[in-house]
Structure 1
Amino acid sequence: MDLALDILRTSVESPWVYLFVFAIAGFDSLVPIVPAETIVISAATYAAAGTPNPVGLVLAAAVGALAGDVAAYLVGRGGGSLVLRWARHPRVHGLIDRTEAMFARRGGAALIAGRFVPGGRTATTVTAGMVRYPRLRFLAFDAAGCLTWALYSTGVGLLGGVIFDDQPLFAVGLGIGIALMITGVAEITGRVLARRRTRKDTDPAAHRGSRHWTGQTVDVA
């Protein structure tokens, strides 16, 4: 993480910064080791002073994230022993189950929501491939999610840069703090709503006339 931030600081006034943001956003979609939000927000705090260009950051982050998500989707759709072993891990299996349930309730909107859930974007995109979610529909919803995420991350970073215009380290810290707070509130809200739905699902009367998710494929009318 420190290495990634060092690379960002040395390239922030160079056109290479856009390629770096693109690469981190794409890599994070496949292997979430370095949080892409941190890099995008950090770059955006510098953008508040004029360099790099905020529009360029949004485009680099969104396109990179989309490329990574498509790769993750294809990995899930292709299957293979590695994906199956990954899916059998208890924590991953539970996350996949929740993702499948989210697809059943929200359809493509789950792809947009999943991009803002910690660790959820990879599970969401891989699961979309595993359940054979339609390609074009996946691309449309995921592109919307990636663009929304890029705008959000860049906007948070710009806000931090404006507030601490002469102290970039404070600006980066504020931007990341705001993002963590918003993500935390969203995560807690999601968990509370999930518990309420679980309690509702245990009520026999709530199942009358309901349709159940198969966990195998997604049929779109």
Structure 2
Amino acid sequence: MIDDVLVGLGTSPWALWAMFGLVLADSLLVLVPGEIAVTAFGALAVTVGSPPLWAVIVLAGLAAFTGDAIVYILGRRVGMRRWRWMRTRRVAGAIEWAGGRLQRNSATVVFTARFIPFARLAVNLTAGATRVPAPRYLTMVGIAAGAWALYQAAVGAIVATLLPGGPLAAVILSITVAVLLGLIVDVGVTRISRGRDERARSGHA
């Protein structure tokens, strides 16, 4: 029965726009499951045949770019301290992290942050507030958003291709794999950043 629901979801004309809305909201609110939605629709594209995988990737990338661009513009207009959520410990820490790295290697930071929710928000907000030139920055954001959408949808599509069974099994396993990969990326980036910070402090000592 759940498989039938997923088939109906995949073939619904509103399905892709629902995914678009989730990804857009995820760029702005962080806690919305945008990654999970893209991975699930990537799995449905293979098991159900609808929506088309290319459409999942294109609309997810467009939504990610739009959300990141809105946060960048927000940073330019209101700065990084005006609202309470900007001053929470996690967001403030991420903003401090982003500020130092944007000056040194903005392309690497933009690509890395696109895969880490709080870092993504902080980097876009900080880039806007520190007046990183819009044409160059938004070009990097667009490329990163496209790569992110391709990756998330591909996880779902690959798992669904390899896994025998209906849409439910494919969606559940692909989401699990995507979450685990996200945690691995998050931990890896954190360790690399700490190592760089420690080397930098040692060099200045």
Tell me how far apart the structure 2 counterparts of residues 109 and 163 of structure 1 sit (CA, whole Å): 32
Q: 1:48 is matched by which residue type in structure 2?
A: V
Shift in CA distance, 167/144, structure 1 to aligned 2, threshold 3 Å = same
SS at match of 1:124: helix
SS at match of 2:50: coil
Once the two structures are superposed, residues 32-88 of structure 1 have per-residue CA deviations (whole angstroms, 9 ceiling, x without a partner) of 232111011111111003211000000110001111111111111101697453332
With the length of structure 1 as denominator, give the TM-score of the two structures.
0.82
Long gaps (5+) in structure 2: none
On the 8 A contact 1:8/1:39 being kept in 2, the answer is: no
Q: 1:42 is matched by which residue type in structure 2?
A: A
CA RMSD of aligned residues (A): 2.2
On the 8 A contact 1:47/1:54 being kept in 2, the answer is: yes
1:174 Cα offset (Å): 1.6
Q: 1:179 is matched by which residue type in structure 2?
A: A
1:165 Cα offset (Å): 4.5
% of aligned pairs identical? 29
Long gaps (5+) in structure 1: 1-6, 209-221
With the length of structure 2 as denominator, give the TM-score of the two structures.
0.88
Richer in helix (by share): 2
Per mean C-alpha deviation after superposition, the further-off stretch among 107-116 and 146-155 is 107-116
Shift in CA distance, 92/8, structure 1 to aligned 2, threshold 3 Å = farther
1:198 Cα offset (Å): 2.2
Whether 1:170 and 2:205 are equivalent positions in the alignment is: no
SS at match of 1:12: helix
1:10 Cα offset (Å): 4.4
Query: How many pairs align?
Result: 200
SS at match of 1:151: helix
1:95 Cα offset (Å): 0.8
Aligned to 2:133: 134
On the 8 A contact 1:75/1:129 being kept in 2, the answer is: yes
Whether 1:38 and 2:26 are equivalent positions in the alignment is: no
On the 8 A contact 1:8/1:43 being kept in 2, the answer is: no
Matches within 5 A, 1:202-213: 202-203=201-202, 206-207=203-204
On the 8 A contact 1:48/1:165 being kept in 2, the answer is: no
Shift in CA distance, 10/124, structure 1 to aligned 2, threshold 3 Å = farther
Tell me how far apart the structure 2 counterparts of residues 195 and 70 of structure 1 sit (CA, whole Å): 28
Aligned to 1:198: 197
Once the two structures are superposed, residues 179-211 of structure 1 have per-residue CA deviations (whole angstroms, 9 ceiling, x without a partner) of 1222222222222222222221222xx249xxx
Tell me how far apart the structure 2 counterparts of residues 82 and 11 of structure 1 sit (CA, whole Å): 41
Tell me how far apart the structure 2 counterparts of residues 197 and 82 of structure 1 sit (CA, whole Å): 27
SS at match of 2:30: coil
Tell me how far apart the structure 1 counterparts of residues 204 and 194 of structure 2 sit (CA, whole Å): 16
